[in-house]
Amino acid sequence: MAQRQSGDVILDLQKISLHFGGVKALTDISFDVREHEIRAIIGPNGAGKSSMLNVINGVYHPQEGTIVFRGKPRHEMDTYQAAKAGIARTFQNIALFKGMSVLDNIMTGRNLKIRSNFLLDAIYWGPAQREEIEHRRKVEEIIDFLEIQHIRKTPVGRLPYGFQKRVELGRALAAEPSILLLDEPMAGMNVEEKQDMCRFILDVNDQFGTTIVLIEHDMGVVMDISDRVVVLDYGKKIGDGTPDEIRNNQDVINAYLGVAH
Amino acid sequence: MSAVNEAARSDRERLDTFPHLMLHHARVRGEHPATREKDMGIWQTWTWQQVAAETRAMACGLSLLGFKRGDNLAIIGDNRPRLYWAMCAAQMLGGVPVPMYQDAVAQEMSFVLENAEIRFAIVEDQEQVDKMLEIKDNCPQLAHILYDDPRGMRHYNQTFIQSLDEVMEMGRIHDQKQPDLLDTEIHQGGSEDISVMLYTSGTTGKPKGVCVTHAAFIAAARTGCEFDHLSAAEEVLSYLPMAWVGDHLFSYGQALVAGFTINCPESGDTVMTDLREIGPTYYFAPPRVFENLLTQVMIRMEDASNIKRKLFDYFMRVAKRCGAEILDGKPGVPFSDRFNYALGNLLIYGPLRNVLGMSRIRVAYTAGAAIGPDLFRFYRSIGINLKQLYGSTETCAAVCLQPDGEIKFDSVGKPVPGVEVKIAGNGEVLVRSQAMLKGYYKRPDATAESIDGEGYFHTGDAGFFDEDGHLKIIDRAKDVGKLANGAMFAPNYIENKLKFFQFIKEAVAFGHDRNMVCAFINIDMGAVGNWAERRNIAYSGYTDLAAKAEVGQLVLECVEQVNAELVHDGMLADSQVHRFLVLHKELDPDDDELTRTRKVRRGFVSEKYAVLIDALYSGKASQYIETQVKFEDGRTGMVAADLKVYEARTFPVVRKAA
């Protein structure tokens, strides 16, 4: 595979600490994300990986630390602002509208891009119609990209798990994000589904130039597709580097395999 | 210069090669849709004029890359418009398109690429490009790979890989500057040139390239069009493998002769939806497709509410009784039946045809394998004019057709005008016509073997003519054998009977030189799975489901029913199935057990599973087996199972007093 070109740092997390009451979820974590790279966050269960993603897109507000996003330092993100600024995500537990079709679900990802007002939409006239067609075109591109044409009109609740995950990725892509946060995109998939998903993630990164931050448990996948990996354990950062560096990091090995006391 | 103009003018009258036909349609029905493809959820249309322009651009582009008269062009991919146009583009330059099965693994392709000395390949997408790269070392002559779909191709920087877009753009500019160059090339093409090379899948041995001339293929297409009065107004859905002669005849040959519209589905998975949207008027499918459709209908009917199911059952009985006769316009159907059928048409058959996407069908054909009479009757009885045709790659799929109103469930119809058919002493069907192969590519030995001195082609099928002059095909001539007691044994005949049951997907019968007939059965995962769920039978996968005692019982009932029918089949009454087993894995082309057109490779299967055959004939009650399976991505795995052998009830044969 050709080497990807990573660009400048677009997201820099500095000394982030997050606690819920007395429970420390994240302690003093710093790492950065460069443009166009695939950045993985790994760690044992409860290490704080999902909390980290939630800090990035503003669901959780850290008590300490600074987030520098596109050169602008701030104390915390705001979900709406994050989405507006081009950060999209998928969830560990699928969060789709089960009764709606694949098409409609992905269309919801266009929500922020829709400019026409409610009244015009209601009568589907003029600019509203033109806009809808434009959005539909974009959605169709995503459907084509993810190879889910045959389930375009199927209600999401009837689809197998692997496809639901794909639809969720589709919805995130519909927002045309510059950063895509993926929370365990391959959990619960079989080998073939994982392969497909890996290919889609690499293609998204390659074709749309999207920066990707992902949490994943499958080490094979992580080591294969990511450019840099950050390792968390008990809310602390214990490693950061290329897959090769991580593989040889003694702290990481200890965290995963345990260490004699 | 004037000579060239003269040539171009005289070419206007010529309709004897496919490129001339295409230019003809561009002139006489330039605005008529020629090709459609569903893309981004919308049907995109190209008129004949546009198609001709695109094809010219492709031809010029190819020529700039060095493609020249006599070259073979490999075409690999799903049914995409530009791949169809590529065939004509190659023909414009006097080259020969070689469509190949797109689902074949790289190693299988390597043989054809080498054998046909392919220098140019036009492929659909990254997947196929990767396959080409995998075998490129074995095929050093392969110099240009052009791809249609640019997705994922950004990082392929080898110079011999180019996008078709780019090449066509080059060609377009070139054609505008010097249109005469291509016209001259087209003019040089003659009707006796090879128009296409189709590799036979070959149930035995290596594939052979069947070379067919423009004249032969156009003759085959024209006969079919005249026979069924096909006009430029037909709509067809092109979804069968492009390498199959059936698709080539139907989506390329006949489309260019009659000038009708071909529609390419969005993807392999959307065919059913696309079929419904297009509503083709002319349809062609191997029996397997019709079988799958029926299985799906039956599964869905099982899920339907009680009242719907009762209605369906009632009217299907009516249809079975009189539907086919009404379709044929035969006299003697009582008024009450006609009334019932009309009501059924309103309530059941019409909506069913609509769901199947067959509301507008005028003529539908099935070929490629024998179709079960009950399956055939089902479609005809709900008002779909399904007919059988008989032919092979070597005979351009045009030997026998069933004329309207003369449909018999167990024959393949009458020889079409211009085709002579006779039966050899050993029962083999021999064919002589204009629409025949010129020869096998680089295999004069094989050509001499199959075409005799009088010009008859030996089909390898065993058959006979019935009293009305309809041809009946029993089996492959080499497969027809004898039981130990001397009775005739036609494995295909028995297998087809078994396969008609929705629960049985594939069957392999053994019996040559044996004292009884035994069989392997493959269950249909969809139908049996649904059946099992309904009965609360838990299973973890194919192997587990196939091993269930209940499933064995289900298959046993099917086998015994076949035995009961075979008793009445005269010379085949001794072929009742005595013992059988349900295979633990599906027979699969990737494991070489089926051909790419999904016919059982009998010899290979009996070798591979010799231990199971021994178990069937030695009276064992069960047999342990481990089998290697190949996955789609080329990796391998093992499946193991302890297979139970079932004994089926057989029925005493009532011999007619001599």
Q: Which domains can be identified in chain A, with CATH numbers?
A: 1-83+179-185+212-261 (3.40.50.300), 87-176 (3.40.50.300)
Average pLDDT over residues B278-285: 94
Structure tokens at B637: 């795995």
DSSP string for B603-647? HHHHHHTHHHHHHHHHT-SEEEEEEEEE-TTS-EEEEEEEEEEEE
Q: Which amino acid is at B284?
A: F
Q: Within B455-580, where are the H helices?
A: 491-499, 525-534, 542-547, 549-566
Which tens digit of pLDDT belongs to each residue from B442-480?
Answer: 999 889 988 998 999 999 888 888 888 898 887 888 888
B526 Cα to chain A: minimum distance (Å): 16
Please answer yes or no on whether A152 and B40 come within 8 Å at the CB atom. Answer: no
Please answer yes or no on whether A149 and B154 come within 8 Å at the CB atom. Answer: no
Please answer yes or no on whether B41 and A149 come within 8 Å at the CB atom. Answer: yes
Please answer yes or no on whether B41 and A143 come within 8 Å at the CB atom. Answer: yes
A255 Cα to chain B: minimum distance (Å): 33
Residues of A in contact with B127 (CB under 8 A): none
Please answer yes or no on whether A150 and B39 come within 8 Å at the CB atom. Answer: no
Residues of B in contact with A206 (CB under 8 A): 152, 154-155
Would you state the pLDDT for residue B17? Answer: 95
| Residues paired with residue B209 on neighbouring β-strands, in sequence order | B199
Please answer yes or no on whether A206 and B267 come within 8 Å at the CB atom. Answer: no
B320 Cα to chain A: minimum distance (Å): 33
- Decide if pLDDT at B430 tops 90: yes
Which tens digit of pLDDT belongs to each residue from B62-116?
Answer: 999 999 999 999 999 999 999 999 999 999 999 999 999 998 888 889 999 999 9
Q: Which of A141, A150, A203 sits opposite B270 (nearest CB)?
A: A150
Name residue, tokens 């003529």: B363
Would you state the pLDDT for residue A142? Answer: 94
Would you state the pLDDT for residue B213? Answer: 96
Q: Which of B151, B154, B269 sits opposite A150 (nearest CB)?
A: B269
B305 Cα to chain A: minimum distance (Å): 20
Residues of B in contact with A137 (CB under 8 A): 40
A192 Cα to chain B: minimum distance (Å): 9
Q: Which amino acid is at B597?
A: T
Please answer yes or no on whether B273 and A2 come within 8 Å at the CB atom. Answer: no
Is residue B450 within a helix (H) or strand (E), and if so which, with residue range?
A: helix B444-450
Would you state the pLDDT for residue B3? Answer: 55
Q: Which amino acid is at B293?
A: L
Structural contact between residues B480 and B493, judged by C-beta atoms closer than 8 angstroms: no
Residues of B in contact with A2 (CB under 8 A): 155
Residues of A in contact with B277 (CB under 8 A): none
Would you state the pLDDT for residue B107? Answer: 85
Measured between alpha carbons, how far is B297 from B278 in angstroms, rounded to an integer? Answer: 20
| Selected residue of B38, B40, B80, B269 to mutate for chain A interface (largest A Cβ count, 10 A) | B40
Contacts of B624 (CB under 8 A, 6+ apart): B640, B641, B642, B643
DSSP string for B306-369? HHHHHHHHHHHHHHHHHHHHHHHT-S---HHHHHHHHHHIIIIIHHHHHHHT-TT-SEEEE-SS
Q: Which amino acid is at B215?
A: A
Give the β-pairing of B577-582 and B636-647. Answer: antiparallel
What are the pLDDT tens digits along chain A (261 aa)? 444 556 788 899 999 999 998 888 999 999 999 999 999 999 888 888 999 999 998 899 999 999 998 888 888 888 888 888 889 999 888 889 999 999 999 999 998 888 777 777 788 778 888 888 999 999 999 999 999 999 999 999 999 888 999 999 999 999 999 999 999 998 888 888 898 899 999 989 988 889 999 998 888 888 889 999 999 988 899 999 999 998 888 888 888 776 666
Residues of A in contact with B151 (CB under 8 A): 145, 203, 207
For A152, the closest chain B residue by CA position comes to B41
Confidence of residue B657 (pLDDT cuts 50, 70, 90): very low
How many CA atoms are closer than 13 Å to the CA of B61, on its beta-carbon side? Answer: 25
Q: 3-state SS of chain A?
A: CCCCCCCCEEEEEEEEEEEECCEEEEEEEEEEEECCCEEEEECCCCCCHHHHHHHHCCCCCCCEEEEEECCEEECCCCHHHHHHCCEEEECCCCCCCCCCEHHHHHHHCCHHHCCCCHHHHHHCCCHHHHHHHHHHHHHHHHHHHCCCHHHCCCEHHHCCHHHHHHHHHHHHHHCCCCEEEEECCCCCCCHHHHHHHHHHHHHHHHHCCCEEEEECCCHHHHHHHCCEEEEEECCEEEEEECHHHHHCCHHHHHHHHCCCC
For A149, the closest chain B residue by CA position comes to B270
Please answer yes or no on whether A203 and B152 come within 8 Å at the CB atom. Answer: yes
Would you state the pLDDT for residue B367? Answer: 83
Residues of A in contact with B40 (CB under 8 A): 137, 140-141, 143-144
Ordered structural domains, chain B, with CATH: 2-213 (3.40.50.12780), 289-359 (no CATH), 481-647 (3.30.300.30)
Chain A, chain B: beta-carbon pairs less than 8 Å apart:
35
Please answer yes or no on whether A137 and B40 come within 8 Å at the CB atom. Answer: yes
Structural contact between residues B82 and B54, judged by C-beta atoms closer than 8 angstroms: yes
Measured between alpha carbons, how far is B185 from B486 in angstroms, rounded to an integer? Answer: 60
- Decide if pLDDT at B133 tops 90: yes
For A4, the closest chain B residue by CA position comes to B155
Please answer yes or no on whether B39 and A144 come within 8 Å at the CB atom. Answer: yes
Q: Which amino acid is at A200?
A: F
Chain A residues with a Cβ under 8 Å from any Cβ in chain B: 1-2, 136-137, 140-141, 143-145, 147, 149-150, 152, 195, 199, 203, 206-207
What is the average pLDDT score of chain B? 89
- Decide if pLDDT at B654 tops 80: no
- Decide if pLDDT at B151 tops 90: no
* Nearest by Cα to A143 from B448, B437, A135, B563: A135
Residue B501, CA distances (Å) to B5, B386, B649 in order: 62, 20, 18
Between A119 and B223, residue with greater pLDDT: B223
Say what angle helices B164-177 and B179-188 make with each other, to 10 degrees: 100
Maximal C-alpha separation, chain A: 72
Q: Which of B152, B154, B270 sits opposite A149 (nearest CB)?
A: B270
Residues of A in contact with B267 (CB under 8 A): 147, 149-150
A199 Cα to chain B: minimum distance (Å): 9
Contacts of B466 (CB under 8 A, 6+ apart): B408, B411, B472
Please answer yes or no on whether A140 and B273 come within 8 Å at the CB atom. Answer: no
Please answer yes or no on whether A150 and B40 come within 8 Å at the CB atom. Answer: no
Which tens digit of pLDDT belongs to each residue from B577-603?
Answer: 999 999 999 998 888 888 877 788 888
Residues B298-326, buried b or exposed e (16+ Cβ, 10 A)? ebeeeeeeeeeeeebeebbebbeebbbbb
Please answer yes or no on whether B152 and A206 come within 8 Å at the CB atom. Answer: yes
- Decide if pLDDT at B656 tops 60: no
Measured between alpha carbons, how far is A17 from A32 in angstroms, rounded to an integer? Answer: 15
Which tens digit of pLDDT belongs to each residue from B3-57?
Answer: 556 666 667 778 999 999 999 999 999 999 999 999 988 999 999 999 999 999 9
Q: Which of A137, A145, A149 sits opposite B267 (nearest CB)?
A: A149
Would you state the pLDDT for residue B206? Answer: 82
Percentage with pLDDT > 90 across chain B:
58
Measured between alpha carbons, how far is B490 from B475 in angstroms, rounded to an integer? Answer: 6
Q: Which of B39, B154, B273 sits opposite A206 (nearest CB)?
A: B154
Would you state the pLDDT for residue B240? Answer: 92
- Residue A23 φ/ψ, nearest 5 degrees: -85, 120
Average pLDDT over residues B388-397: 89
Would you state the pLDDT for residue A252? Answer: 84
Chain B residues with a Cβ under 8 Å from any Cβ in chain A: 39-42, 151-152, 154-155, 266-267, 269-270, 273, 633
Find which of A21-30, B346-355, B640-649 is predicted with most confidence, using mean pLDDT.
B346-355
Q: Which amino acid is at B2?
A: S
Which tens digit of pLDDT belongs to each residue from B173-194?
Answer: 999 999 899 999 999 999 999 9
Please answer yes or no on whether B267 and A1 come within 8 Å at the CB atom. Answer: no
Please answer yes or no on whether B151 and A143 come within 8 Å at the CB atom. Answer: no
Contacts of A144 (CB under 8 A, 6+ apart): B39, B40
For B40, the closest chain A residue by CA position comes to A140
pTM: 0.82
| Selected residue of A150, A158, A199 to mutate for chain B interface (largest B Cβ count, 10 A) | A150
Say what angle helices B81-92 and B18-28 make with each other, to 10 degrees: 110
A104 Cα to chain B: minimum distance (Å): 14
Which tens digit of pLDDT belongs to each residue from B495-525?
Answer: 888 887 889 999 999 998 899 999 999 999 9
Would you state the pLDDT for residue B596? Answer: 78
Q: Which of A150, A195, A207 sits opposite B267 (nearest CB)?
A: A150
Would you state the pLDDT for residue B84? Answer: 97
| Selected residue of A149, A203, A205 to mutate for chain B interface (largest B Cβ count, 10 A) | A149
Given the cut 0.85, state whether the ipTM is greater than it.
Answer: no
Between A21 and B232, residue with greater pLDDT: B232
Please answer yes or no on whether B269 and A149 come within 8 Å at the CB atom. Answer: yes
Please answer yes or no on whether A141 and B40 come within 8 Å at the CB atom. Answer: yes
DSSP state of B600: B
Residues of B in contact with A149 (CB under 8 A): 41, 266-267, 269-270
